[in-house]
Amino acid sequence: MAIPLLETCDIAGRDITGDALLTQRAIATYVVKRQAHYHFTVKGNQANLERDIALLFDTCGAPDFADVTPPDHGCIVTRRIWCSTALNTYLDFPHVGQVFRIERESINKKTGARSHEIALGVTSRTPQQASPQRLLAVNRGHWSIESVHYIIDWNYDEDRSRIRTGFGPENMTRLRRLAVGILKSFQKPSHSIAEMMRKLCFRTRLVFDYLRMTQNSSAAACAL
């Protein structure tokens, strides 16, 4: 469904990002044909591609760019990226501009717990078209969108919604995103969206407080 969906959009000059499921040769070829650029995550469904990129960065030196974000929800996140054009003519994948390796390290300031993730990827943009800093920003932008979708799908089971007629799906998505946005505006580091929704089921008055629909609504009244 990816290509029919993109047919409805003006994508020329844009970065089309996708997780590993969409890392397909046909989609990459289509995106470049439409004068856009792809930015894909590479995982096991493209085993040879993943192996070649991983091997290239097996002994990597200093990163090409590193970004340390300020504490967000009690965490300090460090992202590092390595980029290379060494595989451009070797990989069996269309229109490769460069490959990259992203390392993400997160430290919980309260507990000291650490998490470490590594992501491999490929893009049609050359180093002249996209610096390591830009590639890291594009990747972060993709997962910020993906994380919102994950929250909505997990809590509302959106992917299995049977609302399919007219503007129904679009309207419901907007309402769900509005609800999640309101919850996020009152979210504390120790509370997940799922936990906040469960509490609202038993404290329905808070729903009206969150929406400022009661006479004595206040920020303090909205605290869970």
Give CA separation, 91 vs 35, 43, 55, 94, 223, in Å: 21, 15, 13, 8, 53
- Residue 222 belongs to some domain of the structure: no
174 in the same domain as 74: no
Q: Which residues in the chain come in under a pLDDT of 50?
A: 221, 224
User: The domain containing residue 114 runs over which residues?
Assistant: 2-133
Same-domain status, 183 and 126: no
pLDDT in tens, 53-90: 999 999 889 999 999 877 656 788 899 999 999 999 99
Q: Residue 216 has what pLDDT?
A: 59
Q: What is the pLDDT of residue 159?
A: 66
Where is the domain boundary, 118, 133, 148?
Answer: 133
95 within some domain? yes
Q: How much is the pLDDT for 119? A: 93
156 is a domain residue = no
Based on the fold, state whether residues 123 and 30 are members of the same structural domain. Answer: yes
pLDDT tens readout for residues 164-188: 788 887 888 788 878 878 887 777 7
Query: Tokens representing 115?
Result: 């998490």
- pLDDT value, residue 98: 98
pLDDT at 66: 93
Tell me, yes or no, whether 165 and 81 share the same domain: no
Domain count, the chain: 2
Residues 95 and 182 in one domain: no
Is 223 among the domain residues? no
Q: Which of 90, 118, 133 is the last residue of a domain?
A: 133
Position 39 in a domain? yes
109 and 174 fall within a common domain: no
Token pair of 57 as six digits:
């960065």
CA distance 113 to 223: 27
85 within 8 A of 98, measured Cβ to Cβ: yes
- Size of the chain, expressed as the number of residues it contains: 224
Check if the beta carbon of residue 15 is closer than 8 Å to that of residue 39. Answer: yes
- Cα(161)–Cα(45) distance, integer angstroms: 27
221 occurs within a structural domain: no
